[in-house]
Amino acid sequence: MKRLLVVILVVLVSSLCAQDFGLYQVAPTVGVIFPEGDWNTGFQIGAKANVGSVMEDKIGLFPVVSYWSTKYDYDGMYADSDFELKLSNIKIGIDAHYDLGEYVENLYGGAGLAINMVKSEYPSVKYDDNWNYRVVTESDTDSEFGISFLAGYKLEVSGKPLFVEGRYDVISNLNTLGLKVGMFFDMKK
């Protein structure tokens, strides 16, 4: 699966270079993430870039990178049985935005593909030869393929191009709802 994703990304980057695409705009982003289940609301940061559009400027291509983290507090029934689980994700992918301006000005919808490096941290009990125990934190990292569905609104504040975007990310056994804002900076003059 990872090899297939690498091949797809290489073909995508090659085709972008061959079609007068370039780095037109870059936007830092910040937001919140709402994982499904009992996980707490988390914080996310990231960036996205405008590399051009296809189909008569109706579909824009936007590479994205983001990081988010969250936790889950477990309250045990006994003294010293409380613990905290942590979850974080580094996402690298590409989004396609479809301009819905003919219906609602400055509105877009879209979808994306990404590879997600999901890291979980959890407590583990370790025993020595005398059966004395200590609690340590262990972690696992999995690479997961994911898809996104998104909708956003572009606006200008003091002449600066901003956007607000909501997205639903499907990552194998962990789905998240996110809301983020960003500001584009022009790269080509």
pTM of the model: 0.78
Q: Computed over its alpha carbons, how large is the radius of gyration of the chain?
A: 20
Q: What is the pLDDT of residues 20-72, one digit of tens each?
A: 677 888 999 999 999 988 888 899 999 999 988 877 678 889 999 999 999 88
In degrees and rounded to multiples of 5, residue 15 shows phi and psi of -70, -35
- Is the C-alpha dihedral spanning 53, 58, 59, 60 positive or negative? positive
What is the Cβ-side half-sphere exposure of residue 33, based on CA atoms within 13 angstroms?
A: 27
Residue 18 has pLDDT above 50, yes or no: no
Residue 7 has pLDDT above 60, yes or no: no
**Band of residue 139 on the pLDDT scale cut at 50, 70, 90:** confident
Amino acid identity at 8: I
> How far lies 128's CA from each of 40, 133, 135, 139, 149, in Å?
34, 6, 12, 20, 49
Q: What is the pLDDT of residues 73-96, one digit of tens each?
A: 777 655 566 677 888 899 999 999
**Band of residue 187 on the pLDDT scale cut at 50, 70, 90:** confident
Residue 10 has pLDDT above 60, yes or no: no
pLDDT of amino acid 101: 81
Full set of structural domains in the chain with CATH: 23-186 (2.40.160.20)
